[in-house]
Amino acid sequence: MSRAIGDDISEATKKNEAKDTVAPGDAHACIVPRACVVAQTHHTRGMRVWRFERNHLSDLRLLSGMLLPILAGVAIFGWRALGVLGLVIAGAHVARYFLNRLRTWNATLGGLTLSTRAALVTMFLPATLFDVDQTAFTRSAAWPLAIGIGIVLAILSWALGRWGTVRFSPVVITALLAMIVVGGLGANARVLQRDHVFRGDLFDARFANRSPSTAEPWLSAPPLRSTVVLLTNPAAEQLEDFLDRRYAADRRPMTIPRLIGDNLPPMEDLVIGGHPAPIGCASVLAIIVGGLLLVYRRMAAFRVPALMVLATLATLLIAPVPVLISPEETAYRWLGGQDPRVGWAAGITFANYLLIASPVLLVTLFLACQPSIRPHSLRASCVYALLFGIAAGLSILLVSVGCGPLVALMAVQFVAPTLQRRLG
C-alpha cells in the first residue's frame, strides 16, 4: 500500500514539473531552483488563492534594483515622493479592480507585476505632483494626474496584453505620455536642503534661491539658516533651452563653455544628488548601483547596457551641436570639441552633462535591458544596444533632453522582434 502511495506522489510530482516548464521564448524565464516556483493561482471552493509564480521572481528582482534610486529620490525630495508613488499605484489597482469585475482582465498580469510597472513609471515623475494638501480639489491641483497615470498604465497593460504584442511596452508609453503632460505644468525646481533630507516638505514656505554658477556642491555646501527648500533651474531645462536656441535673444553670444560655467550646476549635484529632477533620476550614482544589482542578478548581460551607454556618449560627442548662439547666427559643428570656441575639455563635459541630466541611464538599466523588451540572442542584443544608443543620443539633441530616451526606446523596441528573428 505504501508503494502505491509513493507511485501516486511521484506521478503527481511529474505532472507539476510539466506544468512548471517554461517555453524557450518566455520573456520572464530565469534560472531558479524548481522549489522556488509554485503553480499558478487556482480556486479552492470558490475562493481565489494567490501563489508565487515564475514571473514574480523577475518582478522582485527588478524592485530590488529600483529600491535605491527611489530611496534617493525620497531623501532629496522628501515624503512627497512617496505620496506620488502611492497615488500612481492606487490608480493602477483601482483600474485593475474594475477591469477584473468586467472579466476582461489579462490573467497573466497580477498585482505584483502591475505595482512594479507603476513604480517604474513613478521614477519618471516629479515629487511636486503630490500637492493634495496644497490645492485640494482646485483647478490647479496636479495630484489627480498621478492617479490618472496609474489608470492609463493599467488600461494599456490590459489592452497590449490582450493584443499579445511585444513591440510596445505599456511602461514606456505611459512614462512618455506622463512626462509630456506633466512637463506642460513646468519643471520641478525644488530640492530639500541637506539637513532636511527625508523629513522636509518641498512646498515649505522657507525657501531660498540657489544660483548654479556660484553654488557649491549640494553635499558639501553649508546649510542656510531658516531654509528648508532650495530653488534652482534644472540642468535638463538649461540644456534644452541651449539646444533649442532660446538664448538667441540674449545680447551676448552664448557658447558651450559659457553655458557650463554660468548656467549649469556642479556635476556632483547630478551624480551624487541634490538637483531638481524626476524621482528616479535624483542620483545617477543610485541608478548605476541599482542597475549593477540587476546585472548581478542576471536580469541583463553587462555588455548590453555598456554598449548602450558608450553608443549614446559617442553620438553626443560626434553629432552636430550649436557651438555659438547669437542674435545674428547659430553655428553648428560636428565633433563640437574640435571647434576652437569650445575645446575638447568643454566638449566632453557638455556631452557628460547631456548624458547624466537626461533619464537615459534610467531608461537603459531599468527599461531597455528588461528581458521582455530586448532580444535574447547575443548578436541581436548587441545590434539592439547600438541602435538604442545612437537613437537615444540623437533624440536628446533633436527631440528633448527629458523625453528623448523614451522616444528612442519606443522606436528601437518596435524592431526588437525582427532583430531576434533575423539574428537570433
- Cell, residue 358: 537626461
The two beta strands, 229-231 and 190-192, are antiparallel
- Cell, residue 18: 510539466
Q: What residues form DSSP beta bridges with 332?
A: 322
**Closest residue by Cα to residue 147 from 83, 97, 89:** 89
List the helix and strand counts (H, then E) for the chain: 16, 8
DSSP per-residue letters across 110-134: -HHHHHHHHHHHHTTS-GGG--HHH
The crossing angle, in degrees rounded to 10, of helices 54-77 and 111-122 is: 30
**Closest residue by Cα to residue 189 from 175, 169, 209:** 209
Residues 6+ apart with CB under 8 A from 183: 402, 403
What pLDDT score was predicted for residue 109?
A: 66
Q: For residue 47, what is the enclosing H or E element? A: strand 47-49
**Closest residue by Cα to residue 108 from 176, 12, 22, 172:** 22
What pLDDT score was predicted for residue 64?
A: 92
**Closest residue by Cα to residue 365 from 80, 29, 56, 68:** 68
What pLDDT score was predicted for residue 103?
A: 63
Residue 295 to residues 37, 120, 308, 409, Cα–Cα distance (Å) = 22, 17, 14, 19
Instruction: pLDDT tens for the chain, 424 residues: list them.
Output: 444 444 544 554 444 444 444 344 443 333 333 333 333 444 444 445 455 566 678 888 999 999 999 999 999 999 999 999 999 999 999 999 888 877 655 555 678 889 999 999 999 999 999 988 776 666 678 899 999 999 999 999 988 876 656 678 899 999 999 999 998 676 688 999 989 999 999 998 888 888 876 668 888 888 888 889 999 989 999 999 899 877 655 567 889 999 998 889 999 999 999 899 999 999 999 999 999 999 998 887 889 999 999 999 999 999 999 998 888 888 888 888 888 889 999 999 999 999 999 999 999 999 999 888 888 888 999 999 999 999 999 999 999 999 999 999 999 998 888 888 888 7
What pLDDT score was predicted for residue 26?
A: 42
Extended strands (E) in 78-222? 190-192, 207-209
Residue 97 to residues 50, 87, 111, 155, Cα–Cα distance (Å) = 16, 15, 10, 11
The amino acid at residue 223 is P
Domain ranges of the chain: 1-52
What pLDDT score was predicted for residue 139?
A: 64
The two beta strands, 330-333 and 321-325, are antiparallel
What pLDDT score was predicted for residue 165?
A: 60
Residues 78 and 24: their CA atoms lie apart, in Å, by 44
Label residue 375 exposed, middle or buried (CB < 10 Å: 0-12, 13-18, 19+).
buried
Label residue 266 exposed, middle or buried (CB < 10 Å: 0-12, 13-18, 19+).
buried
The alpha carbon of residue 353 and the mean position of all alpha carbons in its chain are separated, in whole angstroms, by: 18
Label residue 7 exposed, middle or buried (CB < 10 Å: 0-12, 13-18, 19+).
exposed
- Length reported for the chain: 424
Residue 229 three-state SS: strand
What pLDDT score was predicted for residue 31?
A: 36
CA atoms within a 13 Å half-sphere pointing along the CA-CB vector of 361 = 26
What pLDDT score was predicted for residue 210?
A: 85
- Cell, residue 317: 560627442
In 247-359, where does DSSP find H-type helix? 256-262, 267-271, 284-296, 303-318, 344-357
